[in-house]
Structures are given as structure tokens and as C-alpha cells.
Structure 1
Amino acid sequence: MGSFQRTEFGSQAVGGQYYLTFLTGNIGKAGTGICDAGGAQQMAEFGAPIPAPLEKPKKVAPIPTAKLGEYVLAGKPNKINFWYTQTCGIVGQWPNANKVIEAVKSVPFFVVAESIMTPTATYADILLPATTVFEYDSVMAGTRNHYVQLIEKAVEPQGEAKPDYVIFGELAKRLGFGDRYIVPVEQMIKNVLKPSGITYEEIKKGPVCPVKGPWIPFKDGKFYTPTGKAHFFCEPWAAKGFLPVVTYRQVKESPVGNPELAKKYPLMAIQRKVIRNIHTSFQNNEWLDELFAKEPTVQMHTKDAQARGIKQGDKVVVYNDRGQHPTVAIVNDNILPGVLCLENGWWMGQNGFNSSSVLTNDTVEILGTGTSICSTLVDVKKA
């Protein structure tokens, strides 16, 4: 889980990690493992809060995350006339952020359900006030926690705010099928828990682990494959027409992959997570603002800085054909020459700055359809 996977061939990098794990026997035993995802949902089966419709809905062609802006603007695979977004900071977090903003502006009816005025919310035609996590009851049975627990409302919803599931219920009611969606939250929680065998009464008493005793994923090397073994030969890759074993693949947006573009933008930019926020969450927290700098930074090697007349603490602009990102230089030898490291999650317009995502590569990762934000060519100059 890191920058190395957010490239055009990130699946190869992840596959390389797993190869090392299998070859050295670091899986299926206590104290071993490779990925932090899994948790309660890997330990037990859970259901949906609301039963699925009896008739399967028609399939809708998806839009790859990385290409959100481009696809919406081009009307592919379908023209978007109505866009509803919740729990997501698409403006500023998604790749090629300026194009995403163009896409949002191009949609006739853009609705945002949000609890604070985020950059995404500023573009809403209608802004629906949603509750914070402290203002509704729910259940946590996710992929990053080994316990199932009740989320209990701490305070009543403020103003006219409603939980997302209440908003959906009210919309469904107006569209003529509210009976499917207007379900008491206690019943929704029970629907989620039912396949696991954990009861609502149990989690009311406290967090519950779905398994008894020590839990070891893939214990004794037993995997969820037809053979029960780890496969170095990846059949799903072969089915897509790709080489079915891990190999080195050169990403296109890089000095080696695109020498012509590198003449114009010779530096490779990656994004790093920072401790003041999770993606774009908490970025406007006043208490955190007292502890952390009120301006984004970019890390760069001394040689790259000297070649451009940049010193520690200088205000600089990182740029390419997609956009410009004003920031402050951190100059040292703790990063490779030819590489810049940008902060992830800065809000568009916050303290006069913008998101580093205005620069990022919107190529779709070949196998996993993820993003390629960490193979982005840029240059930097003094502001």
C-alpha cells in the first residue's frame, strides 16, 4: 500500500511484493502478512443494509477513477445530466483536478450531500446537509478493523442535517419505491450482521471479533484459489491478454518512457500522505491548523534546487501542461535527484493554494484500473 502501486503498472509492483512473500514463506503464519486490508470482512460474511431488488438492474458501463474528468466531459460511456456525490472529495483528490472541475461544471444538475463546505460542495446546484459520524447510528464491519462494533449517535443531528441513508429513503419515497429504502436503522444493522452470526444484542454490549482465538489469514498456506495454493502464474491476467507472471514494465510518463515530454518536464513527481489529514478529510480543522503549516510543501533534492536557484523555504510553483501548484520548497538530500514529493490532500483554494492533484497523471492503471498519480512529469520554478 504505497506510492509504488499508484503507477501505470502498479499491479506488477504489488505482484512483486506477493512473490517475495510466497518465496520467503512470510504468509499463513503468526506475525506474517503483506497487506493491511481484510479485517472483519475477511473473517466473516456480512450482508447489505437493504435487500437487493428482485430484478437485477441494468448494467451501467463504469468510468475509471483516473479518467473521471475526461470521460464526463466527453460524454463517455454515457452523457451525464445528473450527478449525485457523497462521502467523497472529488474536487482536489481525483487525478488531473482541473479537468475534474471542468467536468463538474459541465453537468447540468450537480448535487452534493456534505456536512461541511468542501471544495466539491462549492460547485453544487443543490447542497444537502448530511450528518457527521457523531450524529447517527450505524455499524462498523469493515476491511481495516478486526472488530465489529456499533456506531452510536453521540449528539442529535445539527440543523436540518440527515444521515445519508435517511436522505436516500426520502428520495426513494418521492420516486415511488420508498418502501424498499425506508427501513429502521436497527433493522439495517441486523441485515448487515445476519450472515456473520453476530447479533445486534452482542454488539450493543461492546465490540465483537468475528472469530475466536488467534486469527491467521491464509493459515498454513491455504488460499482462495481453485487449487488452494498461491499462484505465481496469474490466470486472470492471462485472461485479459497480459503476461501472467510479474515482470518489469516501463511506465510511459517518465524520463525513460517519454524522453520528449521529459525535455519539457524533467522531474518525476510523486504524492505523499501527510499526518494532518486523511486524503482531503480534516484539512480545514482549525485545531490542526494551529499545529501544522498553513501552506503545502514540496520536497526536492539539493542538486535539483541549486540548478533552479531554489533554496530551503522559497515559494515555488510546480507545473506541467495540466496545471500549476504553488507551494514551499523543502530542500535536502533525503530524496532522489530528479524526483519531487508533493503533499496529498490540500484543499483547492485553501489559504490561497490549491491541490497538487492539478498536476497528476490521469492514465488508468492497466490491470487494476487504479490511478497512475505517481508517474507524473513536472518542473519547478521560483514563484
Structure 2
Amino acid sequence: MRLRPSTSHWGAFSAGLDENGHLQVSAHPEDPAPSPLLGNLPSALTDPTRIAAPAIRRGWLERGPGPDPKRGHEDFVEVGWDEALDLLSAELLRVRSEHGNEAIYGGSYGWASAGRFHHAQSQLHRFLNAFGGFTSSRNTYSYGTSAVVLPHVVGTATDVLRNGSSWPTIVANTELLVAFGGVPEKNVFVTPGGVTRHHTPGFLAQLADRDVEVALISPLRADLPARLDVRWYPIRPATDTALMLALAHTLAVEGLHDRRFLDRYCTGYDEFERYLLGLDDGIVKDAAWASALTDIPAAEIVDLARRMAARRTFITVTWSLQRIEHGEQPVWAAIALAAMLGQIGLPGGGFGHGYGSMGDTGDTGPDFRVPYLSQGINPVKQYIPVARIADMLLRPGTRYQYDGAERTYPDIRLVYWAGGNPFHHHQDLNRLRSAFAQPDTVVVHEPFWTATARHADIVLPTTTALEREDFGCGRRDSHLIAMHRVAEPRAQARDDHTIFAGLAARLGIEETFTEGRTAREWLEHLYGSWRQHLAGKGFSVPSFPEFWEMGEYRLPNTETDRTLWADFRADPVAHRLPTPSGRIEIVSERVASFGYDDCPGHPAWLEPVEWLGGERASRFPLVLIANQPHTRLHGQLDGGAVSQAAKVAGREAVHLHPEDAGPRGIKEGDVVRIFNDRGACLAGAVLTTDLRPGVVQLPTGAWFDPAGTICVHGNPNVLTADLPSSQLSQGCTGQHVLVEMERFAGEPPGIVVNRPPAISRKRDM
């Protein structure tokens, strides 16, 4: 058996088929901590939900395009590739002619493959741009709120999210790590585009070796590895901002804040201090006030503030904290708190965002762009914040606010999705099902019968990464990996480029889309252009045949540990921030000018609807945390061995405290019903004391399997609210939701998402 190199978002590996045709996978030999998610790969090629042939929803095939509540409920008819592409090209032309290119929404949130050429989003957007453009999306579900608020506070999101302090600097210099949301080790195995060497688990271990004090502020103990001796503050969910404000209040009233730093590097502190002292609203944001909200004793809050002021302190906030109502506030408040400590720009001090949210945060690998496919220019300037897709489809023509501007939702007639699964990412899935009934046509490229494919009209089967050639490399990755084809395409599956090339030929834009190149020729061209670029910088890069034969190229080491903050601290005039003041804006006059009641001009405590202290808690007394799974990337390969092994009674596992299980008569392994006024799901109970009472944890990514308004497989997004974080960012709020839980009585419904939907075959195929 010959193992060939490849990579994935969760790690580089080699793979091959044994004598029985079974896929064998071996982690990259230089990876010090291979991801367990590699164990999901062996079954991917032959998963029973693989899509075998182009399929058309029967109602669309028989009745034609148009809004249809039967979308997601009807069977499919398999057709030949020519018929499928003919139908689709005709529909694209109709929509463009009758409604314009703005009526086409190009979904494709990404994450389909680590390959940089067969990157589904790039292929789709390149095709639609060649066709005249499309309505696009902006930002991400991951950190869409931060991406909007950070430029107002520090002038940039990229430098905070991508170029913060390195883990070696933190390990060597930090004395106290205050981790809001922890540093969840399960997430550090993933980096978009791939990762060859997973370093973060080793750096976390070094924190213990150096006796770095770690304060874990999270309802979940698992948000830092169990091997670390941490001081755990099991905070009430969604109250981190209140704790930060109380810590800041203690610094202010005890004179522990760095006034020189605040005067030289920041603007607006005096107004923020008035807020902390309650001089205008009459509410003093002290430790006693925060204790009533957070359930952390006031004395512990004061003690933590004093320890932070006395030591080199690094404050980190996970992305999860901004995926809630008013998610701008914990990010902004943490920056204000770090500024008050005066350690921003010092080695091992200051503020970080996303440590433990992605594998490349804090990494020290090479930092330059690898070969990629140009998407071209989109002539259509209409876009939506990515998490507002259901609003757009359900309320065309509605005006809404976004980052200080009034915008209008377009009237979308065709949704085209290639790569990604909105029925994983999005909230309130029953509402999303209603939204997906509105367009005239929904088109999906997919290898598997996901919920998104099942809610489409035209479904085109695509290859997996192991069935085509590509190259992959993630941000800060050490290697560019040649992704060799390991297996032949399943049934009639084609890669996205081939599908779009076929459509482009029918639409008269083939030359614009393909530029006369095959997929292999594109790989050689993109690599060759990149090689020439690096040669101009003095780097020696092997030819494409040499690279392909070797299977990888070790990227030149361009690591640097100098950050934006070090330069800014050294000279805030020469290295002024791209904010209106050139400094850190603890108070933003621009944000204040927007007049948003859900996002004022400085960090503030704003009571969310979905939290244990709110009115809804009387009906739904548990806070469900819908975090990222440790058994898969999002919903990818949910049928894989690692993901399936963690199921309980065939359903996603929900973790709850024994104090919550006992009164409800729930025992380990029971099937439970989790519900609120949006819907319900079934899950398998796991009892643990590693979370605070009143909190239950159900990860995202179980394939949505609806039976009426209930998901029988355990997808928490049937429960979450499809509401924006604020008018500023319009980010998603899917991290927390209030629920109730009960033991499911009787025989639970069977799971059907693990097999294809009803399909018939046309005789003329």
C-alpha cells in the first residue's frame, strides 16, 4: 500500500487504500500532537450519505422554479449531468434576465476543503463574478461581531486576530493568564487551509511547567486542559462583561490603574471611569454589583484585580464570548481592562483574542500568502452580514442598520451554495427552513446528503479532497502540502471546477472562468506564479514536478515576534493606530454617534434576554452552551468513527450537572428532550461536575434531522435565537440559549439523516 500526502483543516497526513479498498490514514511525522479528527477520514469515501448522481427535487422538476414550502420535504429525481447543467444554466439566465444579478445569493461560507485551488467558495465566487456578479456575505459566524467592533476600538481586526503575542512569548513572560472563555484545547487542532505541526498543546503544557498562574473564567472546566492546575471561576454565562467592569472598577478606586499609559495611548478613559463609578446612571460597577450578576464572590473579584495589577498579566478572550447578545461588550471591555493595567505592548502582557479558538492564534510559523485562486471582481456591491441570511430571505426590502449605515435586504430568487452548510452554522433552524422555502431555486454542491442538500432543488455531487489533486497550507503553517488523489471519484461525483466549467461553457463565459486551463494546469500555473514571486524575494523553491514528487515544501521561516502593540508602545505617534484618535478608543465617538441602544460608545453592561438572570429563565431555567465539538470540525464527517463514538444512544451527547439531572429524573445515558419556544431536540445525557449547575453543554454539528419542529439527532441550533448581537455588527448569537430539559418517555424516533433521502431514477439517464 502506497501512502500519498494530503492535508485537512485539522492536520496533514498521508493516506492510501489497502488491499481491501479501505482507507488508511497516517499523521504527518513532524506533527507533535496529531488531531484525533483524522480518525473520521477512513469512512468518508464510502459513507452511505454520499451523493451518487445529480438530483433534482421532484416538485421543482415537475412544477418549475418558485417559492415552495415543500422544499426539504420532497423526494429527489436523479438525472444525467447534461440535463442538470442545462436546467441550471437556463435558470441562471432566467433569474439574471428577470431580476438581475443582485437576485443571486452566492453562499459558500467556506470550510469545504483545505485545498487552495479546489476551495469551493473561491470556485463559486469566481464563476458568479464571471457571470456578472452576485449578492455576497460579509464577516463570519466565528468572529463576525469582533470583526466589526475592533476597527472602532483599535483600528484593526486583523492585527488582533492574527498577529497577537506568540505562545513562546506568553510562556516565557506571562505570570498571570486570565482566560475569559478559557483556551479550549479541542479547537486548536483546526486552522483553515491545514496545519502540519500542532504546537499549541505543547505550549499549554509549558504553562504548567513554568508555574504560570492561570485564571479560568468560564462555566465549563473543560475550557482549559484538565492537566493544568487552574483557578476556576465558574461564571454565570453571558456576564463576563460585568466581571471585567468590576475588575476595572477595583483598579480605578484603589489607584492600581496605569494613568500614564491611559493618557498617552488611549482616549476616553475619563468618561469610562465615570461609568464605572456610576456618576451618571447611579449604578456603581463594583465587585458587589458584579457578584450578584456573575455568582463570583465579591472578595474574589477584588483579589483577582489586585493580582492582575501586581503581575505581568495577559488577558485573553475566546471568540465564543462575542457570539452572544451584545457580544461587542466583552471584547471592548477586555481591551479597556488591559489598557488600565498598562501592559499592552509588553512581552507576555496585554490583550489577546482567539487563543484556543483556532490553531494558528499565537503560532510562530511563516507568515505569507501561499498560492490561491483569484475570485475576480464582483460587479454587484450588495451584501449582507453573513448571519442575516434568514432575515434576507424572509424579509426582502426591509431596512436594517449595520455599522453605522442603513441597508436594505435584496430580493433573492436563487441561492447557490458550494462548500459549507448553513444548517450547521445558522441559528433557529426551523426559521431557516421557512427562509429556504422563499427563493425560486436553491442549488447545492455537496459530497454528502447534508441538511442543506436536502433543502435544495438542484443537488450536484462533488468529490472529496481525497478524490482530486490540490495543494493545501494554513495560516502560519510550516509546510505547503501536495494533496495527491488517493481514490477515484465516487459514482458520478465531479470537482467544483469541472462543474462550473461545464456551466460556464453553456453560458458563454468559459474562457473567463477557466482561462483555458484544466484543474491540473491551474495547479501548475498558481504554483509557478507563486514560486516566481518567492524567487524575487531570494527564496529557493522547487519546481512543481519536484514539489509534487516530494509531497511537501517546507516554507521559509519568516517568523517574527514583534507585534503592532510593541511598535505602538514604543512610539504612539510614529505608529499611531488607524482609529480617529490614533490611539486605543476606550470611548468611540463614532460608535456613540450611531445612537444604537444595544451598543453604546464605550464598554457597558447590557442585560441579554438569554441568560439565567432574565425573565425567560422562569420558563427555561437552564443555559445551554452550544460550543464547538471535540469530535469533528463543525458538522463535517459527522458519520466518521470519532464523531460516532461520542454519541449517546446514537444522538449527540449533552453534558449536565448531577444537581440538574436529579430533580428531572435524568440518569447517565438517558435520551432527553431539550426544548424552548423555538423547537426541541433529542440528545443523550452525560452527567459531570465539570460545569456549573444550571448550565448544560451541547456542541454544534450533529447533522440536522428534523421530525416536525424537533431534531431527533441533537442539533442545538434548533433552539438558538436568530437575533443579531447588535445593530453595529449584526453578528450571530448562537453560543447561549435558555432551555428546559426532560427525560424522553417511550421509544425515541429513529435517526434518518444517516442515509440518503428518497431518490428515484429517470429512465433516460
Question: What is the TM-score with the length of structure 2 in the denominator?
Answer: 0.44
Deviation for aligned residue 1:139: 4.2
Partner of 1:16: 333
The alpha carbon displacement at 1:229 in A equals 5.5
2:385 equivalent to 1:25: no
Instruction: Report how far residue 20 of structure 1 moved.
Output: 4.8
User: 2 CA distance for matches of 1:331 and 1:89?
Assistant: 30
Equivalent residue runs for 1:291-310 within 5 Å: 293=648, 294-310=650-666
Give 1:340's match in structure 2, choosing from 693, 696, 721: 696
Select which of 120, 126, 134 maps to 2:458: 126
Counterpart of 1:308, as a letter, is R
> Who wins on radius of gyration, i.e. which is larger?
2
Range with greater deviation from structure 2 (176-185 or 236-245): 236-245
Q: Which stretches in structure 2 are left out of the alignment for 5+ residues?
A: 1-317, 398-408, 569-574, 745-765
| 1:105-144 aligned within 5 A | 105-143=437-475
Secondary structure, aligned partner of 1:62: strand
Contact 1:269 1:378 (C-alpha < 8 Å) held by counterparts: yes
Supply the distance in 2 between the matched residues of 1:224 and 1:126 (Cα, whole angstroms): 51
- Counterpart-to-counterpart distance in 2, 1:326 and 1:285: 20
1:224, distance to aligned residue in structure 2 (A)? 7.8
Deviations 1:197-217 (A, max 9, x none): 678747836445465354444
AA at the equivalent of 1:353: H
Structure 1 residues 267, 69: CA separation in 2 closer, same or farther (over 3 Å shift)? Answer: same
Residue of structure 2 equivalent to 1:212: 558
Query: Structure 1: 5+ residue runs without aligned partners?
Result: none
- Contact kept in structure 2, 1:47 and 1:195, CA below 8 Å: no
Q: For residues 654 and 644 of structure 2, what CA distance do their matches in structure 1 show?
A: 18
Aligned match for 1:149, one of 480, 483, 494:
480
Percent identity between the two aligned chains: 23
Spell out the pairing of 1:216-227 with structure 2 (5 A cutoff): 216-218=562-564, 220-222=566-568, 225-226=577-578
The equivalences for 1:1-383 within 5 A come to: 1-21=318-338, 23=341, 25=343, 29=347, 33-36=352-355, 43-44=367-368, 49-50=373-374, 52-53=376-377, 57-62=379-384, 64-65=386-387, 67-76=388-397, 77-143=409-475, 145-147=476-478, 149-155=480-486, 156-183=488-515, 184=517, 185-186=522-523, 187-189=525-527, 201=542, 204=547, 206-209=552-555, 212-218=558-564, 220-222=566-568, 225-226=577-578, 230-234=584-588, 237-238=591-592, 240-241=594-595, 242-256=599-613, 258-259=614-615, 261-286=616-641, 288-290=643-645, 293=648, 294-349=650-705, 352-366=712-726, 367-383=728-744
C-alpha spacing 1:307/1:158, structure 2 compared with 1 (3 Å): closer
Residue 5 of structure 1 deviates from its aligned partner by 2.0
- Residue 306 of structure 1: CA displacement? 3.0
Q: Within 2, Cα distance between the matches of 1:239 and 1:136?
A: 52
**Aligned partners of 1:273 and 1:159: how far apart in 2?**
32
Q: Give the 3 Å change call, closer, same or farther, for CA 51–338 of structure 1 in structure 2.
A: closer
Instruction: For residue 343 of structure 1, give the secondary structure of its aligned residue in structure 2.
Output: coil
CA RMSD of the aligned region, Å?
3.6
Instruction: Say which is worse superposed, 294-303 or 206-215, in terms of deviation.
Output: 206-215
Shift of 1:371: 1.1
Q: 2:528 & 2:725 partners in 1: Cα distance?
A: 37
Contact 2:577-2:584 at 8 Å conserved across structures? yes
Per-residue deviation at 1:165? Answer: 3.1
C-alpha distance in 2, partners of 1:20/1:202? 51
Q: How many residues align?
A: 377
Contact 2:635 2:703 in 1 (8 A): yes
Query: Does the 8 Å CA contact 2:704/2:713 hold for their aligned counterparts?
Result: yes
Cα offset, 1:126, TM superposition: 1.8
| Inter-partner Cα distance in structure 1 for 2:562 and 2:703 | 40
Q: Is the 8 A contact 2:703 2:715 kept in 1?
A: yes
Which amino acid is 2:368 matched to?
A: A
Distance across 1 between alignment mates of 2:563 and 2:646: 39
Q: C-alpha distance in 2, partners of 1:132/1:140?
A: 14
Q: Say if 1:348 and 1:58 are closer, same or farther in 2 by CA, change over 3 A.
A: closer
Q: Deviations over 1:273-312 (max 9, x none)?
A: 2221111012111464356543222222333333333333
Segment drifting more, 329-338 vs 339-348: 329-338
C-alpha displacement at 1:170, in angstroms? 2.9
| Contact 1:131/1:158 (<8 A) preserved | yes
How far did 1:357 drift? 0.9
SS of alignment partner, residue 634 of structure 2: coil
d(CA) in 1 for partners of 2:560, 2:424: 41
Measured in 2, the distance between the counterparts of 1:296 and 1:276 equals: 11
**Taking structure 1 as the reference length, what is the TM-score of the superposition?**
0.82
Distance 1:168 1:51 in 2: 13
Distance 1:40 1:202 in 2: 26
